[in-house]
Each structure stands twice: as C-alpha cells, then as structure tokens.
Amino acid sequence: MSASIEDRAGLDFVLALRRAWATELYPQLKREFERSGAGGDAATIAPTVHRLPAYPWFAWLERGSQKMLWRAVADAIEHQGASLPPRGNGPATVELDPDFRLPGWYTEWDIHVQPGGVWSSAEAALVYELGARLVMLGDNDDYKFHRLFTETAIPARDYRRIVDFGCGFGKSAWPLKQRFAAAEVIGVDLAAPCLELAAARTNARGVDVRYRQADATATGLEDNSADLVTSTMFVHEIPAQILPSVFTEASRLLAPGGVLRFLDFQFTGDPFRDLAMIEHGARNNEPFLPTMMREDLAAMARRAGFAQARWVAFDERGQGRLPELDWPSRPEWHFPWAVLEAEMPSPAQAGETE
C-alpha cells in the first residue's frame, strides 16, 4: 500500500498501541488475577477480574484501539482515493446474484467494529482487506497465516473441487488453489464487494478461483460435488441456531470420503484466558463468538453425518496444525486457534458402523 507519511504514522501508532495491549496489559492483568488467588471457571472469576486495577485499561484499550484501527485504515484508503481494482482478464470469475438478500443477523452488526460492515460498499471491502492484515499486529502481511493453514491442516490429496465458506476477499481461497492446482476452487461469501475484490486480487496472482455470492447454508452447488469444504475464521460469525445448517450444507456438498476443515477458536481450559476470549466477543462486536465456543461443534458435525470429528490446536506463529488440542504457551494475548477436523464416511466405513 502506498500511503502518506501521516497515514503511515497513524497506522503505526495504532499497531504500537495494540501490541502494548497484547504484550503488556494482558500479562499485567493476568499477574494481578493470579495474585488474587481466585479460582473457578470463566464465569465465576469474572467479578474478581473486573475489580482488578488493570482491567478498565485492558477492556477500554481493546475496544478503543480497534475503533482507532478502522479509523486509521479508512482514512488511509480515503486519502488514496482508492477504489476496487479492475477484475482484469485473468482466470478468476465472480457469480453475483442481483436479487440476493443479505440476512438480517449479518447486517445488524458492525462486525469487528468496522463501521458499515464489510458488505456495505467497495471502499468497505478495501478497508476490511487492509484491516485484516493489520489486526494480526503486522504478522500477516504476506498471508502467511492462511498459507500455514493450507499447508499444515489440509491433507495432501487429489481434490476435484474445494469449497471455501466465508472466503471474504479471497485470502484463504487463492492459497488453496496455489497448493492444489488441479482442483476447482470455489469461494463462497455473502458480500458482493468482497467477492469483486477477491477476483481482482486472485487475477493479479494469475490464479483460477470461482467466486460465488451465496449463503453457506444454501450454496446452490451440486450434491456430492466437493472433496474438501473449508473455512477460516468463519463459524464464530454465525448465529448458533444457523450453525447446524452450515454443517448440513457441507455434508450435502461432500462426496463420500470428503474432508471438512474449519479453522476457528476453542476454549483452552485456562479460566482467565477463556474469560478474556468471551469478553473479546462483546468488545469486538462479534456477538456469536461466545455462543459458538460454548457449542459442541464436533457433535454438531457428527449429527450432520460426519465421522472422526475433533478439534486440534493451531499455532499460527510456528508449526501450524498441532496433533492434539494443546496450545503453545505464550505470555501475550493471542487467539486460541483450533482446527475442526471431520470426514464424510466412505461407503465401506458407513457399512462398518451399521
């Protein structure tokens, strides 16, 4: 991104503020909690944590710095006079539905505290794209995070078709195509501006991805037509009552032996860290995150027909997928990334279970 000195200074300031929140305020608050001697689960320790001296600073700065981030990013985009880049003549395509109606649960919130939401305009898609890179504290400039997921959490197989739910501006779809070049990759999302941006960014990479405006509960794709259904940071943005339909749709799309891989968050068993994650949902305008984490998504997948459903941990700064639900130990605030793994039984496996 080409930005003025002033805009870069604003972005750098917000990043420094968020790093201080993650690396200084969070450990300080945890030390205060440990000195309190309080015990219990995330719900029972909440009153104690809320009375600690560092808590008002931690809570305010989490939400306040997020607001500052979007303002700094929006200002930078506006000052550049940026607009959606032309789609170009590359291989990526976009299928938009002029009669498509966005669901109310999606438009009622400024998710991530981004004013207007990612769906509202071309400028909003560009703001989301830059913000998504910066929100990981500058550690995802080359989309290392998504490549690590593709390289370590997706089994090495020959896939005919891969469907990527909640593909956004393509940050997860084009790494899938780059790794599995022979597969047809279809990115599904609700937001038309993000899909247009995804096609432009994908074409700039010379990659063939088919983008489709559709709901992940009703993609309109054929039964048993995919060998892999995946998503990154998607299911925590879906209301609990709709989540079963996401798994039902994935089950319908996958052929026998097909693979499901959803990258998202899970509770760690550390009450302090789990409380911080629950409250992150409120302070970051992600109302469905706490309910998703409380749901048993592995059981939900099994009810939709999947087998071998389980969560494993994911280390976004190191190995990627880990063999068990055992997160790396780091003192600073960081997300409890995890991968939900499941498979559609093959005919032979289905017969064995009958």
d(CA 65, CA 277): 16
- Does pTM surpass 0.75? yes
Q: What is the mean pLDDT of residues 167-191?
A: 96
Q: What are 201-210's pLDDT values in tens digits? A: 999 999 999 9
**Encoded tokens for 1:** 């991104």
d(CA 168, CA 128): 9
The CATH number for 90-353, chosen from 2.60.120.560, 3.40.710.10, 3.40.50.280, 3.40.50.150, is 3.40.50.150
Domain boundaries, the chain: 90-353
Q: What are 118-150's pLDDT values in tens digits? A: 999 999 999 999 888 777 655 555 688 899 999
Q: At residue 239, what are phi and psi to the nearest 5 degrees? A: -60, 145
The DSSP code for 296 is -
Greater confidence (252 vs 1) lies with: 252
112 near 284, Cβ under 8 Å?
Answer: yes
251 near 195, Cβ under 8 Å?
Answer: no
**pLDDT at residue 193 greater than cutoff 90:** yes
**How large is the angle between the packed helices 55-80 and 271-283, nearest 10 degrees?**
40
